[in-house]
Structure 1
C-alpha cells in the first residue's frame, strides 16, 4: 500500500510542498539567512528518502512535474521589470556591460578553480551554467558536454548562496544603487537570488529578473565559444 503511494506522482509533489512550508516556517521563526527555505526543504526531503528507503526515481515522478513548471514560472519575473522598464532604458549600457562582465567572470572563475584543483574537463563544462536559471542551465550543460544532474545541484547551491550572502556583500562593499544591486544578484544567482532581491525592493527585483534572462541568453550564445577559447589554455 505504502509502496503504491510512494510510486504515485502525488507523493513527490506533496512532500515537496510540505517540506518547503516547513522550511518557510523555520526561516520565519529563526530569521537567519542561513535557514533558507529551499535549503531546509532539500535537506528534509533527502532525509525522508533515506530514512524510509524511498528510491529517488519514485520521488522524481512528482518532483519532475514541479521542475517542468520552473520555466513558465519565471515569466512572472517580467511583471516588476515591466513596471520599472524606464530604468532599463536610462541605464542600458551599464546594465548590459555589467551582465556580460558577470557572465565572463563566472565562467573564468570556474575555469580557474577547476585548474587549481585539477578537476576533469567535464566538470568545468558542467559548472559553466551554474549561475543561470535551471531550465536554461540544463540545456547548456548537455550541449557542451557537461553532466546536467550535477549542473542542477550547482545551480541550486549557487542560488541559495547568493540569496544568503547578497545583503551582506552589498553592505560590506557599500553598494547602495538599486539597479546595481539587482543586476549583481540576478547575474550571479538567478531566480533564487532574485527572490531575495524582490524582498530588498521592487527595483532590485526588476533588474534582477532582467539579468536572469539576459545572462541566460549570453551564456547560451557564447558558452561553446568560451569553451573553445579556454580549451586553448587547458
Structure 2
C-alpha cells in the first residue's frame, strides 16, 4: 500500500517536472524568437543592411560577460533559464539551414554546364584550401604567442530522436501528402497546399539521417538526407499533380510573408539560432579569452585567403569574370555575401547564394573527415576551420556531433562575414580583386 502510494507520488512528480520543463522551454525559446524579430524590425526601420541576429548575438554575449564580472550568480541564473530553449535549438538547428539547400536546383539550372563544372571545381578546391589555412593558422598563431591549450567546458548533447518520433512524423507526412494530392485548394496547388507535407518530410528526413549508422553519416550527413528527402517529395508531388518539380520547389521557399512555404517557416528560426550561439560562446568564455589572438588572426587570414584565392583560381581555370566575381564570398553567410557582391557591378546574386550553399554542402558532408586527416584535433581549430570555410551549414554539421566546437564555430561564422564585408567595402581591395579576376 505504502509502495503504491509512493510510486503514484513519484509519477505525479515526474509528470509535473516534465510539464514545467516544457513550459520553461517554450518561454525561453519564445523570448529568443521575440528578441530576434524585434531586432530585425528595428534594423529594417533604420535601413541597416547588417544582419540583426549577429548584432544580437554579440549583445547577448556582452551582457552575459558583464553580468559574470559584476554579479556572477545573475549570469548563471540567466544561463539556466535559457538552457531549455537552447537545447531545443541545438537539437534542431541544422534543419533551419536546409531550405536554401533544397531549392539549390532552381538557382543553378540556368548556368552553362562548362561554367558549372568550373564553379564546382573552384568551390571544392577553395573549400579544402580555406579549411586548411584557417585551421593551420590557428595552430601556428598559438605556437607563436605560446598559449597553452586547456580543455574545453563539457557541452550537453541533445537527446537522439526516438522511433516514436520518426513514425509520428512519417504518419504526418503521408497524411498531408495524400491530402494535398487529393484535395488541393480552390485555387489549385499552391504554397499553402504544399507546406504541411514539405515541412513534415524535411523534419522526417533529418530524423532518419540522424539515426543512420555513424560510418554512413560520415559520407552522408543528416543535412544531406534532409534536403534530399524534401527534393524527392517535391519531385514526386510535382509528377503526380502534374505541376512540375520547379513549381513545387518554388512553393517551398517563397520569401513572401503573406504566402510562406515550408522553407520560410524553417528559416524564420535562423536569427534565433544565431542569437543562441551567444550562450554557447559564454560557456567557453575562458577559452575565448585565452585564445582570442589566434581566433581573430586565423579568421582574418582565412577570409583574405578565401577572397583572393577564389579570384585567382577563377582566372586560372578560365571562368567568366562576372561569374568569378559572383562567387568571391563563397565562404561567407548568404546575407553578408549578397551585401558584398552588391559592391561589384555585373555580379549575379542568385549565383552568389548558390555558391555559398554549395560551399556549405561540401563542408557539411566532408568537414569531419578532412579535419581528422589534417590532424586538427582541438575544438578551437576545428570550429574556426569549419565556420571560416563552410559558414552556417558547416557549423550545423560539425556542432551536431561536436557541440564543444560550436562556440568557436559561432565566433568564426560571425567574424568571417563581418571582416569580409569590411575589406570588400575598401575600393582598393575591390580593384585588386577585379584585377586578378581579369
What range describes the TM-score normalised by the shorter chain of this pair?
0.7 to 0.9
In the other structure, the counterpart of 2:334 is 134
TM-score by length of 1: 0.86
In the other structure, the counterpart of 1:220 is 421
RMSD: 2.5
Q: Does 1:6 align with 2:189?
A: yes
Q: Which runs of 5+ in 1 are unaligned?
A: none
Number of equivalenced pairs: 234
Task: Decide which moves more: 122-131 or 6-15.
Answer: 6-15
Counterparts in 2 of 1:43 and 1:227: CA distance versus 1, 3 Å: farther
**Alignment check: 8 A CA contact 1:36 1:160 kept:** no
C-alpha deviation, 1:94, in angstroms: 1.2
Larger RCO (CA under 8 A, 6+ residues apart): 2
Q: Larger Rg: 1 or 2?
A: 2
1:34 to 219, 223, 228: 219
Counterparts in 2 of 1:24 and 1:102: CA distance versus 1, 3 Å: farther
Counterparts in 2 of 1:12 and 1:128: CA distance versus 1, 3 Å: farther
TM-score by length of 2: 0.49
Secondary structure at the counterpart of residue 144 of structure 1: coil
1:59 to 252, 257, 268: 252
C-alpha deviation, 1:111, in angstroms: 1.0
**Alignment check: 8 A CA contact 2:384 2:412 kept:** yes
In the other structure, the counterpart of 1:230 is 433
Query: Counting helix residues as a fraction of each chain, which structure ranks higher?
Result: 1
C-alpha deviation, 1:45, in angstroms: 3.3
**Alignment check: 8 A CA contact 1:22 1:41 kept:** yes
**Alignment check: 8 A CA contact 1:125 1:144 kept:** yes
In the other structure, the counterpart of 1:198 is 399
C-alpha deviation, 1:207, in angstroms: 0.5
In the other structure, the counterpart of 1:150 is 351
C-alpha deviation, 1:216, in angstroms: 0.6
Task: Decide which moves more: 96-105 or 32-41.
Answer: 32-41
2:319 to 119, 140, 143: 119
**Alignment check: 8 A CA contact 2:209 2:226 kept:** no
CA deviation map 1:148-177 (0-9, x unaligned): 222222222211221222222222121222
How do 1:161-180 residues align onto structure 2 when only pairs under 5 Å count? 161-180=362-381
In the other structure, the counterpart of 1:43 is 228
CA deviation map 1:5-38 (0-9, x unaligned): 6313462464044234224304522432232233
Q: Which runs of 5+ in 2 are unaligned?
A: 1-182, 239-243, 255-260
